[in-house]
Amino acid sequence: MKKSILSTWLLLLSISLLLAYCKGKNQESANAINSIENLRRGDIVLCGPDQRQLGKTDFSFSCSEKSRDTFNMGLALLHSFEYSEAEKAFVKVLENDPDCAMAYWGIAMANFHPLWAAPNKEELQKGAKASAIALKLKGSNKREQAYIEAIHTFFNGHEELKHAARAKQYEQAMEKIYLEYPDDKEAAILYTLALDATADPADKTYTNQKKAGAILNKLYPGRPDHPGVVHYIIHNYDYPELAPLGLEAARKYASVAPSSAHALHMPSHIFTRMGLWDESIQSNLASAAAAKCYAEALGANAHNDQELHAMDYLVYAYLQTGQEQKAKEQIDYLRSMKSMFPEGQTSTYAIAAMPARYVLELRNWKEAATLDTTTTLFDMDKYPWSKAIIHFTRVLGAVHTRDIAAARKDLSSLQNQHARLVKSGDDYKANQVLIQVKMADAWIQFAEGDKEKALAGMQAAADLEEKTGKHPVTPGEVIPARELLGDMLLAAGKNEAAQEAFQANLKRTPNRKNSLSGASIAASRSGAVAIHRP
């Protein structure tokens, strides 16, 4: 009897201790997730012609089986750069499985966005915290732990190390996983994204991009519906010389993930590179509509950055097809906007570039000279690259309306934006603004009569621009340097050289309206035959 009572007592004690342990463990898990500030939670919001269609991902997953579909949705959202909704998906995984280390990995990945602007302070803190928790929990196997350690290398030490150095560390860590686990297709796909993110903009042999493209092309036949495969093929071939290699993926991606505004837009990167304007227009109309729907579904009372991104590409394509009124409608719509989210390089670049493109493409120099350097949508002073676009446009407008004093004033402001970017260590953007400084200075010299020096300056600007890749946030320069060189050569009466400049620009940017017309004018004046296609 006593033995029986003792056994019962020991059993009850064991259960009590187990319950106490589980309660403590659950509390510890709850404390872990609650320690991450500004975490996105709630229902996953999607818009598009076919909601909840994001492509097919199947990650080998060791956490709760009932969370598998949610985890894969989060992964698919990551691959289409729907970072806010991806974060929500990974939080939902944690609601079912609070100790799932890979869900914390997903949260960290949702705050990385390697091809966009570097994470802001809030995103860095969130990613660092999530990756640290994941590291403490540890993945359920060596492979998962390697994924966690890879993203931790990016966020760890962000206070001391620059973004580029940490992105390189992440790329190297992903390469190790790719090599160690050759059957892990997800590792290969994420590695190709890391390669593109760390590619040298000045490398015109496209070493990283070609390496990534080769990996993705091997994967594509067996995974044509994987959003990362088709998406990253497009990004890695988003260059004048490589664009035709991405056309098949471009025409595929929108059907793979029609619930993503970014997926609907992304094909237009290749369409723009190849001068396929009608396809670009259709792509971006669908994307802008989906992004607007997304913002409305969130109840944000603001415009999503993906809508603005698509609009910039729309304005560009409309202007190349002579649809100036439709381009103006986009500009007017932009000016009617009261707020946007999230604020960052994607949206701020588009807001500055759209009106600049419009006046420069139409050669509306009077309006260009007085283009507003402010906007109610964001503080322009926080974004020197975006602000530089406006000052550059104003210089060209002032020069062509013969107000050299105003042109010099805006040149000085342009030089200030360049100095700010140099000081910040943002070499790529500093270089982009330096090209604009050179062009602006050359046109002022030309207007003042020093034509040979001006032409030499424009030639140098065009050469520098062609050595530098474009940023993913833009469909192309607000006006290509080589095309502006052609304009200057025409104005100088050097018609044969002007035709060569326009034709050279058409090789980089096929079917650009002003280069086509410039080449025809130059050919007519020189008595040569105009060649309208590169």
Q: pLDDT tens, 289-315?
A: 999 999 999 999 999 999 999 999 999
The amino acid that residue 117 corresponds to is A
Greater confidence (226 vs 32) lies with 226
Report the distance separating Cα 423 and Cα 58, nearest Å. Answer: 44
Query: 505 is written with which tokens?
Result: 């620009």
- Residue 52 has a pLDDT of 79
Q: How far apart are the first and last CA of the chain?
A: 98
Q: What is the pLDDT of residues 180-221, one digit of tens each?
A: 999 999 999 999 999 999 999 889 999 999 999 999 999 999
Report the distance separating Cα 200 and Cα 275, nearest Å. Answer: 25
**Cα 162 vs. chain centroid, distance in angstroms?**
19
User: Residue 183 phi/psi, 5° resolution?
Assistant: -90, -5
Query: 107 is written with which tokens?
Result: 């949260």
Check whether 20 has a pLDDT greater than 50: no
- Residue 469 has a pLDDT of 82
Going by C-alpha positions, the residue among 87, 94, 136 that lies closest to residue 113 is 87
Tokens 């792509």 label which residue? 283
Coil, strand or helix at 198: coil
Query: 348 is written with which tokens?
Result: 């701020």
User: Residue 195 phi/psi, 5° resolution?
Assistant: -65, -45
Q: Give the mean model confidence (pLDDT) for residues 152-178.
A: 96
Q: Does domain 28-265 have CATH number 1.25.40?
A: yes
Query: 453 is written with which tokens?
Result: 């020096």
Degrees, nearest 5: CA angle 432-414-398: 115
Q: What is the pLDDT of residues 398-427, one digit of tens each?
A: 999 999 999 999 999 999 999 999 999 999
Greatest Cα pair distance in the chain = 117
Check whether 442 has a pLDDT greater than 70: yes
Cis geometry, peptide bond prior to residue 384 (ω within 30 degrees of 0):
no
Give the DSSP letter of residue 80.
T
Report the distance separating Cα 372 and Cα 356, nearest Å. Answer: 10
Tokens 């994420």 label which residue? 190
Under the banding of pLDDT at 50, 70 and 90, the label for residue 1 is: low
Answer yes or no: are the C-beta atoms of 229 and 257 closer than 8 Å.
Answer: no
Q: Give the mean model confidence (pLDDT) for residues 137-146.
A: 91
**Cα 202 vs. chain centroid, distance in angstroms?**
18
Report the distance separating Cα 482 and Cα 498, nearest Å. Answer: 10
Distances (CA, A) of 418 to 20, 229, 413, 436: 61, 36, 9, 9
Q: Show the beta-strand stretches assigned E in 25-179.
A: none
- Residue 21 has a pLDDT of 43
In this structure, the number of other CB atoms found within 10 A of the CB of residue 468 comes to: 15
Q: What percent of the chain stands above pLDDT 90? A: 87
Q: What is the pLDDT of residues 231-248, one digit of tens each?
A: 999 999 999 999 999 999
Q: Where are the domains of the chain?
A: 28-265
Under the banding of pLDDT at 50, 70 and 90, the label for residue 531 is: low
- Residue 529 has a pLDDT of 61
Query: 325 is written with which tokens?
Result: 């009124």
Cis geometry, peptide bond prior to residue 480 (ω within 30 degrees of 0):
no
Ordered DSSP codes for 288-352: HHHHHHHHHHHT-SSEEHHHHHHHHHHHHHHHHTT-HHHHHHHHHHHHH---EES-SHHHHHHHH
**Cα 454 vs. chain centroid, distance in angstroms?**
34
Question: How would you classify the pairing of strands 303-304 and 340-341?
Answer: parallel
Q: Give the mean model confidence (pLDDT) for residues 138-144.
A: 89
Under the banding of pLDDT at 50, 70 and 90, the label for residue 138 is: confident
Among 12-21, 482-491, 501-510, the range scoring the smallest mean pLDDT is 12-21
Check whether 28 has a pLDDT greater than 90: no
For the chain, what's the residue count? 534
Tokens 């080998």 label which residue? 60
Answer yes or no: are the C-beta atoms of 112 and 156 closer than 8 Å.
Answer: no
Distances (CA, A) of 64 to 60, 70, 91: 12, 11, 13
Tokens 């009850």 label which residue? 12
Answer yes or no: are the C-beta atoms of 253 and 263 closer than 8 Å.
Answer: yes
Check whether 18 has a pLDDT greater than 70: no
- Residue 49 has a pLDDT of 74
Check whether 534 has a pLDDT greater than 90: no
Distances (CA, A) of 204 to 133, 209, 217, 246, 430: 40, 10, 21, 17, 19
Give the DSSP letter of residue 40.
-
Answer yes or no: are the C-beta atoms of 472 and 344 closer than 8 Å.
Answer: no
